[in-house]
Amino acid sequence: MSDYISVQGVFVGVTDTGQGITADQADTLAGLMAVDATYGTFGEFSSSYWRGTMLDSVDKLASVSTIQRSRKGEYGFILRLNSNLFDAKPGGLQHLLGILCGDLFSLQLEGIKLKSIKIERVEVPDSWEKLLLSEHRQNAYTIAELRTLFKLEADEPLLAFSVKPRMGLKREALQALTLEVLRAGFHIVELDTRNLDLSADAVVELIDLAKRAVDIGKQKHVTRFSPNLSLSAPLASELCNKFMTASDPPVVIKCDGGLDGISTCQSLRASYRKGNAAKSPVITTYPLLKRVLEDRIGQDTFLNALIWSGSDIIYPGGAPNLGGAYRQLDHATRDSLARSVERYLGFAKRGFPMVTVAGGVYAGQLQAYYELLGPNVAYFLGGAVALHKDGPVEGAKLCVRIVKEARNLRRKASRGNFADPLTASLISDAEAAYTAPSGAPPNTFKYISAAKDLPIAQGLKPWFARA
């Protein structure tokens, strides 16, 4: 029995006169979609030449069903594709995404055409997902393994600084900034997704910085510098090997979800084997193309593709929106805060990957995030460190102080209740740390108290009540 990949979505079809299409016309249009996704071309295979030439009956390659929605001409559909057509080992994942993101939905028949189409969800069979995981994640890390690699205490979250300014920082300034932020208590300093200076002399200096970063935390905690190797697979592998050779494990590298992201992650996982000496790199990922691809492959399909391909630490989007931030990237706008929290905790319960809170997070929100999400979620901070009035080193120290205080308060709190607010002096320091941008409200960087500000949202409770 064949397993099928299910592509669920909605389309609007119109006639040449602009009227909504009928149910029969919708079925015709959807049928063409199924044919074009697999074996078809612009006409019928009517010649006797083709009799008996197909491996399987065409209805077993692809099928489609439609259901009329309330708006005239709008139809929900489910397109089913035989997963055997997309062999997971030699690039079947990329093949599937390429079809869905390509010209498949640019369909037109005489008198009718697709006006718009949106893919809401892509579901793959368990057997196909298991094959991807066994092929590409056997050398990736679970959350528990990452915590061991970084020698985190039981209630301690991973702290990372995504370097800001994003680009244009002098190399000597980058080196000083990296080492001081790590010395302040952060575990990782990584280059921003836009920073891809990998000229020969830059690589030499970055390798030296990675070596020096290891030495910072040897007496207290694991500290690493992460270069951005969001490149084609051959180049990324070549450079990764240089960092692996020069630095102590765990070696952390950044491989973002751009045009090369899936293949590069897969290649790196195939190149390095995980063992007692942690000889496989820790891969962190920002899914750059996630939002732009959502209409074609659904909300989380690209994210899942990167996870299946071996990403260890990833920003999933849809971070819980605590409010109060001036600039919030990719926050859930349709789901409630409680549902966003549940989504994050779902990753933690699964055991991989370690997901991050990132994008517009400032120091005054850290305790609330910690109360909601716990220590198995990483905090990848940029502006929270870099925008501090007294400079990024003080910003890093402030974030570390808040996380330490949040941990202490959590230990004193009951499992079912949110911990008490931070001390008045620490709240004052947090709220005074940043200058509100021009035109923004003066309380833009207000401290968010889990105990006082969050219970108003229905269904919220501390992560620790669920552990």
Rounded-to-integer distance, Cα 71 and Cα 78, Å: 18
Contacts for 403-406 with beta carbons within 8 Å, 24 or more apart? 403/157, 403/159, 403/366, 403/370, 403/379, 405/367, 406/366, 406/367, 406/370, 406/371
Task: Give Cβ neighbours of residue 116 (< 8 Å, ≥ 6 apart).
Answer: 11, 12
pLDDT digits (tens, 9 = 90+) for 195-219: 999 999 999 999 999 999 999 988 7
Rounded-to-integer distance, Cα 205 and Cα 186, Å: 21
Rounded-to-integer distance, Cα 419 and Cα 411, Å: 8
pLDDT beyond 90 at 156: yes
Q: Is the pTM of this model over 0.85?
A: yes
Q: What is the pLDDT of residue 292?
A: 94
Q: State mean pLDDT over 155-161.
A: 98
Distances 265 to 14, 184, 252, 280 between C-alpha atoms, Å: 42, 31, 13, 12
- As beta bridge partners, residue 81 has 5, 62
pLDDT digits (tens, 9 = 90+) for 110-134: 888 889 999 999 999 999 999 999 9
pLDDT beyond 70 at 323: no
Query: Quick one: pLDDT band at residue 325, thresholds 50, 70, 90?
Result: very low
pLDDT beyond 90 at 227: yes
Rounded-to-integer distance, Cα 132 and Cα 441, Å: 47
Q: What is the pLDDT of residue 278?
A: 65
DSSP letter string, 185-210: T-SEEE--TT-----HHHHHHHHHHH
Q: What is residue 329's DSSP assignment? A: -
pLDDT beyond 80 at 426: yes
pLDDT beyond 80 at 107: no
- As beta bridge partners, residue 13 has 114
Say if domain 131-465 classifies as CATH 3.40.190.10: no
Q: What is the pLDDT of residue 327?
A: 44
Residue 326 burial by Cβ neighbours in a 10 Å radius (0-12, 13-18, 19+): middle
Rounded-to-integer distance, Cα 348 and Cα 373, Å: 9
pLDDT beyond 60 at 313: yes
Q: What is the pLDDT of residue 274?
A: 82
Q: State mean pLDDT over 342-367.
A: 94
Query: Quick one: pLDDT band at residue 328, thresholds 50, 70, 90?
Result: very low
Helices and strands: H and E segment counts in the chain: 17, 13
- As beta bridge partners, residue 190 has 162, 226
CATH 3.20.20.110 residue ranges in the chain?
Answer: 131-465
437: left (phi over 0), alpha (psi -120 to 50) or beta: beta
Q: What is the pLDDT of residue 329?
A: 35
Rounded-to-integer distance, Cα 142 and Cα 432, Å: 38
Top-level CATH class of 4-130?
Answer: alpha beta
Q: What is the pLDDT of residue 55?
A: 76
